[in-house]
Amino acid sequence: MSSSASTSLPFAASEMGRNSLSRTFIVYTLGLFAVLGIIFIGILTKITWDASHARAIRVTEAFFQATKRPFERAIWTVNADATLQLIRGLESLDVVEKVWVETPDTGNFGDPLADDRRQSALSYTLNSPSTILHKDMIGQVFIMIDRNSISYEIISTVGLIVTAIIAYLLVLAFVIRSIFHRLIGLPLSEIVAYLSTPRLIEDPPTEALMPGRADEIGILASSLQSMVQRRHLDLQKIQEYQTNLEELVTHRTEQLKLVQEELIQADNLAALGSLVAGVSHELNTPLGNALMAATTIKDSATHLDDELERQTLSKEALENEVARISETASIIEKTLARARELVGNFRQVAVDRQSEKKRAFNFDHIIRETIATLQPTLQKTPFKLELDLDGDQVIDSYPGAVSQLVSNFVENAVKHAYEGKEHGTIRLSSSIENRSKGAGAAGRTIVFKCRDDGVGIPDKNLKKVFEPFFTTKFGKGGSGLGMAICYQLATEALNGTISVSSKVGHGTEFTVEIPVTEPQKKKAHITTTTKVH
pLDDT at res. 25: 76
pLDDT at res. 214: 77
Q: Give CA–CA dist 25/66, Å, rounded.
A: 60
pLDDT at res. 154: 81
pLDDT at res. 337: 72
pLDDT at 244 over 80: yes
Higher pLDDT, 285 or 179: 179
356-515 — its CATH code?
A: 3.30.565.10
pLDDT at 220 over 70: yes
8 Å CB contact between 346 and 376: no
Q: Give CA–CA dist 14/6, Å, rounded.
A: 12
pLDDT band at 281 (very low <50, low <70, confident <90, very high): low
Higher pLDDT, 3 or 66: 66
pLDDT at res. 354: 47
Q: Give CA–CA dist 106/126, Å, rounded.
A: 13
pLDDT at res. 143: 85
Q: Give CA–CA dist 53/48, Å, rounded.
A: 8
pLDDT band at 271 (very low <50, low <70, confident <90, very high): low
8 Å CB contact between 163 and 171: no
Find all residues with CB under 8 Å of 483, minimum gap 6, and list them. 408, 412, 465, 466, 470
Specify which of 103-117, 137-151, 317-331, 357-371 reaches the highest per-range mean pLDDT. 357-371
pLDDT band at 531 (very low <50, low <70, confident <90, very high): very low
pLDDT at 513 over 90: yes
pLDDT at res. 207: 81
pLDDT at 22 over 60: yes
Q: Give CA–CA dist 377/366, Å, rounded.
A: 18
Buried b (16+ CB within 10 A) or exposed e, 125-162: ebbbeeeeeeeeebbebbbbbbbebbeebbeeebeebb
Specify which of 42-56, 263-277, 462-476 reaches the highest per-range mean pLDDT. 42-56
Average pLDDT over residues 233-243: 86
Q: Give CA–CA dist 493/358, Å, rounded.
A: 10
Q: Give CA–CA dist 125/104, Å, rounded.
A: 12
Residues 371-380 have pLDDT tens digits of: 888 887 788 8
User: Across the chain, how many H-helices and E-strands are there?
Assistant: 13, 11
CA within 13 Å, CB half, 6: 7
pLDDT at res. 321: 77
pLDDT band at 426 (very low <50, low <70, confident <90, very high): very high
Alpha carbon 33 to its chain centroid, in Å, reads: 51
**CA nearest neighbour of 30 among 168, 159, 197:** 168
Residues 330-351 have pLDDT tens digits of: 777 777 776 776 666 555 555 4
Q: Give CA–CA dist 356/400, Å, rounded.
A: 7
pLDDT at res. 177: 80
pLDDT at 74 over 70: yes
**CA nearest neighbour of 512 among 533, 531, 485:** 485
Strand, helix or coil at 143?
strand
60, amino acid identity: T
User: Residue 170 CB: number of other CB atoms within 10 A?
Assistant: 11
pLDDT at res. 532: 35
pLDDT at res. 439: 43
Strand, helix or coil at 122?
strand
pLDDT at res. 240: 86
Q: Give CA–CA dist 48/140, Å, rounded.
A: 30
**CA nearest neighbour of 271 among 185, 350, 178, 194:** 350
pLDDT at 430 over 90: yes
Strand, helix or coil at 296?
helix
pLDDT at res. 137: 79
Higher pLDDT, 486 or 521: 486
Residues 381-416 have pLDDT tens digits of: 888 999 999 888 888 888 888 888 898 899 888 888
Q: In which element (H, E) is residue 514 found?
A: strand 507-515
Residues 209-218 have pLDDT tens digits of: 778 777 788 8
DSSP state of 113: P
pLDDT at res. 528: 39
pLDDT at res. 2: 40
| φ, ψ of residue 511 in degrees (nearest 5) | -125, 125
Q: Give CA–CA dist 86/517, Å, rounded.
A: 140
pTM: 0.41
Average pLDDT over residues 361-366: 89
Class in CATH terms, 22-170:
alpha beta
Q: Give CA–CA dist 40/54, Å, rounded.
A: 21
464, amino acid identity: K
- The rounded percent of the chain whose pLDDT value lies above 70 is 80
Residues 100-145 have pLDDT tens digits of: 888 887 778 887 877 777 777 888 888 877 655 555 778 888 888 8
Average pLDDT over residues 257-264: 70
Residues 454-509 have pLDDT tens digits of: 999 888 888 888 887 677 765 555 556 678 888 888 888 888 999 999 988 889 99
pLDDT at 440 over 50: no
pLDDT band at 425 (very low <50, low <70, confident <90, very high): very high
| φ, ψ of residue 345 in degrees (nearest 5) | -60, -45
8 Å CB contact between 371 and 389: no
pLDDT at res. 66: 81
Strand, helix or coil at 364?
helix
For the ranges 178-192, 407-421, 428-442, the lowest mean pLDDT is seen at 428-442
Find all residues with CB under 8 Å of 257, minimum gap 6, and list them. none
